[in-house]
Amino acid sequence: MAYGIDVELRNLTKRYGSFAAIDDISLRVPSGSFATLLGPSGSGKTTTLNAIAGFVTPDEGEIRFNDQAVSQIPTYKRNIGMVFQSYALFPHLTVGDNVAYPLKMRDRMSRAAVAERVRECLAMVRLEGYETRLPKQLSGGQQQRVAMARALASRPRLLLMDEPLGALDRRLRDQVQIEIKEIQRQTGATFIYVTHDQTEAFVMSDLVVVMNDSRISQVGTPTQIYDEPDNVFVANFLGGSNLIPATVEGVDASDYLVALGDGTRLAVPRRGQSMNVGEAAYIFIRPEDITVGAPTGAQERTVDVAATVETVDFHGDSLRITARIKNTSDVISIRTGRHQPVGGGADIGVSWKVDVSRLLKR
Amino acid sequence: MSAVLTNILRGVNVFVLAMLLFPVIVVVGISFSSASFLRFPPPGLSLQWYEKILTDPSWVNALVLTVQVGVISVVVAVVVSVPMAIALVRYVRRGRGFLSGLLLSTFMTPTIIQAISIYQFYVPLGLLDTVYGLAFAHAVSGIPFVVINVVASLGQIDENIERAAVAHGARPARAFVNVTLPIIAPSVMVGAIFAFMHSAHELLIATFVLGTIRKPISVKLWEGVKVTVDPTIAAATTSVIALGVLLLIMIALIRRTDVRRRAA
Ligand SMILES: Nc1ncnc2c1ncn2[C@@H]1O[C@H](COP(=O)(O)OP(=O)(O)OP(=O)(O)O)[C@@H](O)[C@H]1O
Ligand SMILES: [Mg+2]
């Protein structure tokens, strides 16, 4: 049997007064996988973690660990490790004693074994030799790493981490991300991880759970979430995206036929949400999937649109071009190689492959 | 802020401080007087009045009694106040303001009213004229000092700190003892010191409940003022003031280490 716990949320709702902090959330995180809750501030990520930990009692629905309902199991018996958004280190205990706390509560280990484990865990977060310091003597990032070491110390089968790398600078963050991912592979524990940072979510996760307004907007692998957003919120929240207004005019076996504002007709594959003829929609395309150049004309399953360049911005490794589609007010943004020879006001042709676009409900 | 305004404020500060400290300076000065009457500034210096206090069993007994009553009342106040503060902060949803107000109302009630009602309340209980009786009475008025301090400190603790202990395997009671208690301990100490000083200074309840049998320092001082007019009372008063200053220094030290520990 795998080491990690299989976590399932069934129609979980938690209300504060009439406001639902989480609203009918259902989710399954298979044993040993790394799931990330990603969403804007106030979308219910911490509330979800707290419900899994047992600090928040759901008003409706249930939580199951390995197919057993856990409502009767108090938090201290759930065998979890947890990193809090506010670090929540014990201010009166040294770093060593903070990390040793779960071992003292849960495991009957000799003093030497505890010390050894503490050393190991601190090494994992690159804080060797900090045992005797007090939390207040550490920087925010160091405190966060101590919190991480404490959560990992008793080798729990489920780890709940609430933005554990928020206070770290980019480089250290990258290092610790790799470290966490490695720990997860080695231990086979289940990780449920909260972050604001989409790159972090993509790099680390098997499963990305996008939350918005107390609900789950979409669940999927990083590539699914990025390439095949289910709705406008997910499309916008993750990276730059183009959402070009269009109207559905027809459906065939593989594609929707849609019309842009100027009447230009083009095809979008039939995937995801099903739409009716006459319905208002958005065509979703990532900026990096659009190419600038002469019409490809004859090429199979490609869309060509005429546009006028409005701005060109240098982004170091790429150029961002915004262009207005001819005879409409719709602006698209394009990411190209940095040597694209275009300037403001130029008339260009833009094209994309039908299969990289998607139709989303407006 | 303009320099003029700053100087005016500074002047006001000095004036108020002088007003507050003047009586203390006079009393302390007289306590070291070589003369046997109350006169300020003293004609010469000596320690004779302190010697007199320390060799007079009635003063020594008064001091011992004050400490006894103070310690018992503080212990009772702390034992009641800490759970009360926790309940107020964590479990009382509706009516928290009302309960806090009720608690503070002991500060508003004239002490003579408290003294009379406690007197009547104690007669049938047989607590009148007992050390415990006075200690309990002082505990009641000492409770707000402790509760206020502990409530303030509990309000500042990140609730996730205790949760972190529970998440990592501690039963809630254990988490409280391991984590929350050490964090609020300095505030409990500070509240306890205030409550102790309150008990040591308190005169009216002490007079009613115990004063006819045994006299704590406050009662003895009051009677001293009534009958004798030599610097003994100045020396006794100075001793009580010194105790207070000592405790205040302790508070300052506790606060300092506490603030340092919190600063992170
Ligand atoms: N104890 C509470 N009482 C009332 N409302 C609450 C409580 N806890 C959370 N909420 C509300 O529930 C919503 C979700 O909160 P939650 O902390 O889960 O958000 P979050 O996704 O973690 O946000 P962030 O990224 O800012 O941490 C918020 O609107 C918050 O105000
Ligand atoms: Mg949060």
* DSSP secondary structure string for all residues of A207-243: EEEEEETTEEEEEE-HHHHHHS-SSHHHHHHSS--EE
Q: Which residues of chain A have pLDDT under 70?
A: 1-2, 272, 294-299, 340
A14: left (phi over 0), alpha (psi -120 to 50) or beta: beta
Q: Quick one: CA torsion of A323, A326, A328, A331, rounded to 10 degrees?
A: -10
Among residues B150, B155, B164, which one has the least CA distance to residue B78? B150
Asked if the peptide bond before residue A287 counts as cis, ω within 30 degrees of 0, the response is no
Predicted confidence at residue B81, as pLDDT, reads: 95
Instruction: Give CA–CA dist A208/B199, Å, rounded.
Output: 62
Give burial (CB, 10 Å; 0-12/13-18/19+) of B1. Answer: exposed
Q: How many CB atoms lie within 10 A of CB B66?
A: 24
What letter does residue A162 receive in the DSSP assignment? E
Confidence of residue B264 (pLDDT cuts 50, 70, 90): very low
Q: Which three-class secondary structure state does DSSP give residue A256?
A: strand
Give the gyration radius of chain A's Cα atoms.
25
CB contact under 8 Å between A76 and B172, yes or no, is yes
Closest partner CB to B183 (pick from A53, A91, A102): A91
- Domain annotation covers residue B259: yes
Angstrom CA distances, A358 to A231, A271, A288, A293, A351, stand at 10, 7, 15, 22, 15
The answer to whether the Cα torsion of A188, A192, A196, A198 is positive or negative is: positive
CB contact under 8 Å between B167 and A89, yes or no, is no
Which atom, in ligand 1's list, is nearest to the CA of A39?
21
Q: Are A7 and A52 contacting, i.e. CB atoms less than 8 angstroms apart? A: yes
Q: Whose CA is nearest to atom 31 of ligand 1?
A: A42
Predicted confidence at residue B1, as pLDDT, reads: 60
Note down the domain range covering B249: 58-263
Q: How many CB atoms lie within 10 A of CB A258?
A: 25
Predicted confidence at residue A1, as pLDDT, reads: 42
- Token pair for residue A158? 């489920």
Residue range B137-146: mean pLDDT, rounded: 93
- Domain annotation covers residue B192: yes
Closest partner CB to B179 (pick from A81, A90, A135): A90
What letter does residue B45 receive in the DSSP assignment? B
Predicted confidence at residue A93, as pLDDT, reads: 94
Can you give the CATH number for the domain in which B218 is found?
A: 1.10.3720.10
Residue range B255-259: mean pLDDT, rounded: 71
On the question of pLDDT at B188 being above 70, the answer is: yes
- Domain annotation covers residue B78: yes
* Best residue for ligand 1 mutational test, from A16, A59, A87, A198 (most atoms within 8 Å of Cβ): A16
Instruction: Give CA–CA dist B235/B33, Å, rounded.
Output: 9
Q: Are B188 and B146 contacting, i.e. CB atoms less than 8 angstroms apart? A: yes
Predicted confidence at residue B245, as pLDDT, reads: 86
pLDDT digits (tens, 9 = 90+) for B231-249: 888 888 888 888 888 888 8
Best mutation target, A49, A84, A104, A134, to test chain B (most B CBs within 10 A): A84
ipTM of the complex: 0.84
Residue with tokens 């070491």: A149
Pairing, β A347-353 against β A302-314? antiparallel
- Domain annotation covers residue B27: no
Average pLDDT, chain B: 88
Instruction: Give CA–CA dist B192/B19, Å, rounded.
Output: 28
Give burial (CB, 10 Å; 0-12/13-18/19+) of B89. Answer: middle
Largest CA distance in chain A: 77
Number of domains in chain B: 1
Instruction: Give CA–CA dist B156/B177, Å, rounded.
Output: 17
